[in-house]
Chains A and B, each alone.
Chain A
């Protein structure tokens, strides 16, 4: 029978099925970080349970960490205690930790692929909703809650209901200035913030196939923003080339075996999807969000909707009030206070290269504060090796040390109340970047141009 990609991977990981319909699903890789793991370790200890497979867990400190002076002890006592707790737990249970000071430290969803831990056909989980990022490699990867983190620690398995399948195809060629970020913001604006709840989304079509691995990660990363349990893309030559040679990638004969298996990982021609959508790449233009959920996106040159269904009006107007925008207005010309380039959505080397290529020889607007936070130590070092750090410095951008930073503002990097920030991250929720902060999600290219212009512009007029 024809099977979809997610079913092929799922079937290969079912330990057994139980009467009520759930499957005991085996988890190949478990990523942990300091915020959602301490209570799970406590749960194990309270029940006197051993950690079942420590070698399948990878830990990093990312959510809480400062992005300045990482060589110094963390000043904020609660953040420090959470990071210390992670170190303590990793030592106690024999877990590999890519913590502060490690050459491979970084945002959990950036370092997994970098290390070659993320591979096609695997099941991967993390106590973090953007675990869907790893689906870019053709893995079944999804976020879990802390109780489930404890379950995986205790058994390397989860009890799960098979998700429904959705296929989203984007066909054709993306226009100049349109990036993977615009593509996913466009899809979410079409389907809505809850539009894919209960589904695993397979992204397909020629526009998706032509994306680099980094672009594919950006797309899969935001699957959760339309409610999907995960997103994935069938692996191909682009995927294999990215994985090959990385520290944890299979080598020699194992590589050949892996490749032979990975080549079987695609949705069979007659696979049945529970929902299917097809979009034309030519319809996608550079995007920006105007509201307080990622589904509230419009083309940069578009208008805030003037009409919404009655049932949604109260929430919609509350959102606009928070953002200080009006129904039906254009965002062009709006002054911006901050630009944040970072997060597991857009903090990889290609993103930094895009920004550097645009800002070289230019300078950010005087009133804008522009912060760039690389996704990992490796990205930071690569940027320095390529001279990107100098280009950014000359353009008035501040290159920080790696971490989640102003994506969720758990550290000192916060956008002040009422200020507008064009951010390359994934969430524009109220207060996400600090209490009262106003976030407009966009691509790194849009962010770079906005920083230089100091206001929202039609970027197609400003491309180099």
Chain B
């Protein structure tokens, strides 16, 4: 996993609530056996017509907007456990998703992919969405070590919460496998003493 420390970029607004993982990456694109290439089909059915031509009114097709942060409505990533949703966002160049609320499995999948799920209040989210729509060049600064999101143009900084262990992992590019494999002797000791082996 890539290390994540700071990010200076602009944001892409997606002001819908309950964006589910079937929209992020529809099931019919889950047939690959590798992790790469899912970005191409990110938001496929919102982004393209059935003939493959881009839908002009979808934000990813709007040349006004670019950047590595997706700013989305609350309860982002609900639905299926497909980690492909996080891979697709990452593959398409996003490194952070800002929302006022993330579905649990998506949050975990994002963290395991190196994509930061950054949770802000409903008020801050509404301000950000409006501000980016008014000025797509608005610079956003995410600083993971200090757990802050800054909007330099406003002179404002908000802090965000993240699990301290997951923060360490993301900042250093570590993942849980290394940690868990190192627990082998404790796991084997546990297996010896557990009661239900039926």
Interface residues of A (CB under 8 A from B): 12, 15-16, 18, 20-22, 24, 26, 28, 35-36, 38-39, 42-43, 47, 49, 52, 63-64, 78-79, 81-82, 85, 119, 121-122, 127-129, 143-148, 150-151, 154-159, 161, 193-194, 197-198, 224, 227, 229, 250, 254-255, 257-258, 261, 293, 295, 311-312, 314-315, 318, 408-410, 417, 427, 429-432, 435-436
CA distance A194 to B79 in the complex (A): 10
B 51-80 binary contact with A (CB < 8 Å = 1; else 0):
000000000000000000000011100111
Q: Are A39 and B194 in contact (CB under 8 A)?
A: no
Q: Are A410 and B33 in contact (CB under 8 A)?
A: no
B88-105 interface with A by 8 A CB criterion: 101, 103-105
Q: Using Cβ atoms and an 8 Å threshold, which residues of chain A touch B23?
A: 429-431
Q: Using Cβ atoms and an 8 Å threshold, which residues of chain B touch A157?
A: 180, 183, 187
Q: Are B177 and A150 in contact (CB under 8 A)?
A: yes
Can you report 18 A-B residue pairs in the complex whose CB atoms are below 8 A from each other?
A22-B163, A26-B187, A26-B190, A42-B35, A52-B187, A122-B196, A128-B81, A129-B80, A145-B112, A147-B177, A155-B177, A155-B181, A155-B183, A158-B180, A193-B78, A257-B198, A410-B27, A427-B20
Q: Using Cβ atoms and an 8 Å threshold, which residues of chain A touch B104?
A: 197-198, 227, 229
Q: Are B165 and A22 in contact (CB under 8 A)?
A: yes
Q: Which listed segment binds A: B10-18, B134-142, B147-155?
A: B10-18
Beyond A49-B177, A229-B105, 11 additional pairs, beta carbon < 8 A: A38-B33, A129-B81, A144-B108, A145-B81, A147-B109, A156-B187, A159-B179, A193-B78, A261-B195, A314-B16, A430-B23
Q: Are A148 and B82 in contact (CB under 8 A)?
A: no
Q: Using Cβ atoms and an 8 Å threshold, which residues of chain A touch B187?
A: 15, 24, 26, 52, 155-157
Q: Are A194 and B18 in contact (CB under 8 A)?
A: yes
Instruction: For A410, give its contact among B31, B180, B198 (CB under 8 Å).
Output: B31
**B50 at the binding interface (Cβ < 8 Å):** yes
Chain A, residue nearest B16 (CB):
A315
CA distance A440 to B145 in the complex (A): 45
CB distance from A423 to the nearest CB of B (A): 14
Interface residues of B (CB under 8 A from A): 15-18, 20, 22-23, 26-28, 30-35, 45, 50, 73-75, 78-84, 86, 101, 103-105, 108-109, 112-113, 122, 126, 163-165, 175-177, 179-181, 183-184, 186-187, 190-191, 194-196, 198
Instruction: Report if A148-B196 is in contact (Cβ < 8 Å); known contacts: A154-B181, A194-B101, A315-B17.
Output: no
CB distance from A453 to the nearest CB of B (A): 29
Q: Using Cβ atoms and an 8 Å threshold, which residues of chain B touch A79?
A: 31
Q: Using Cβ atoms and an 8 Å threshold, which residues of chain A touch B126?
A: 311
CA distance A121 to B197 in the complex (A): 12
Q: Are B18 and A315 in contact (CB under 8 A)?
A: yes
Instruction: For A435, give its contact among B50, B105, B122, B181 (CB under 8 Å).
Output: B50
Q: Are B20 and A227 in contact (CB under 8 A)?
A: no
CB distance from A35 to the nearest CB of B (A): 5
Q: Are B101 and A197 in contact (CB under 8 A)?
A: yes
Instruction: For A409, give its contact among B27, B164, B183, B194 (CB under 8 Å).
Output: B27
Q: Are A194 and B180 in contact (CB under 8 A)?
A: no
Chain A, residue nearest B167 (CB):
A20
Q: Are B177 and A410 in contact (CB under 8 A)?
A: no
Q: Using Cβ atoms and an 8 Å threshold, which residues of chain A touch B163?
A: 20-22, 161
Instruction: Report if A314-B15 is in contact (Cβ < 8 Å); known contacts: A143-B105, A147-B113, A431-B23.
Output: yes
Q: Are B79 and A24 in contact (CB under 8 A)?
A: no
CB distance from A92 to the nearest CB of B (A): 14
Chain B, residue nearest A125 (CB):
B81
Q: Are B79 and A145 in contact (CB under 8 A)?
A: no
CA distance A78 to B32 in the complex (A): 7
CA distance A22 to B32 in the complex (A): 32
CB distance from B183 to the nearest CB of A (A): 6
CA distance A156 to B112 in the complex (A): 17
Chain B, residue nearest A129 (CB):
B81
CA distance A435 to B190 in the complex (A): 48
Instruction: For A154, give its contact among B80, B180, B186 (CB under 8 Å).
Output: B180
Q: Using Cβ atoms and an 8 Å threshold, which residues of chain A touch B74?
A: 194
CA distance A150 to B112 in the complex (A): 11
Instruction: Report if A254-B198 is in contact (Cβ < 8 Å); known contacts: A143-B81, A431-B26.
Output: yes
Q: Are B78 and A194 in contact (CB under 8 A)?
A: yes
Closest 8 CB pairs of A and B: A250-B198, A147-B112, A145-B83, A145-B109, A78-B31, A155-B180, A194-B75, A38-B33
Instruction: Report if A81-B33 is in contact (Cβ < 8 Å); known contacts: A150-B177, A197-B75, A430-B45.
Output: yes
CA distance A78 to B33 in the complex (A): 9
CA distance A280 to B105 in the complex (A): 31
Q: Are A435 and B81 in contact (CB under 8 A)?
A: no
Instruction: Report if A159-B180 is in contact (Cβ < 8 Å); known contacts: A15-B187, A22-B165.
Output: yes
Q: Using Cβ atoms and an 8 Å threshold, which residues of chain A touch B34?
A: 38-39, 42
Instruction: Report if A15-B17 is in contact (Cβ < 8 Å); known contacts: A79-B31, A410-B27, A431-B45.
Output: no
- Of B82, B86, B191, chain A has the most CB atoms within 10 Å of the CB of B82
CA distance A432 to B45 in the complex (A): 11
Q: Are A410 and B18 in contact (CB under 8 A)?
A: no
Q: Using Cβ atoms and an 8 Å threshold, which residues of chain A touch B181?
A: 49, 154-155
CB distance from B176 to the nearest CB of A (A): 5
Q: Are B50 and A417 in contact (CB under 8 A)?
A: yes
CB distance from A96 to the nearest CB of B (A): 17
CA distance A257 to B196 in the complex (A): 9
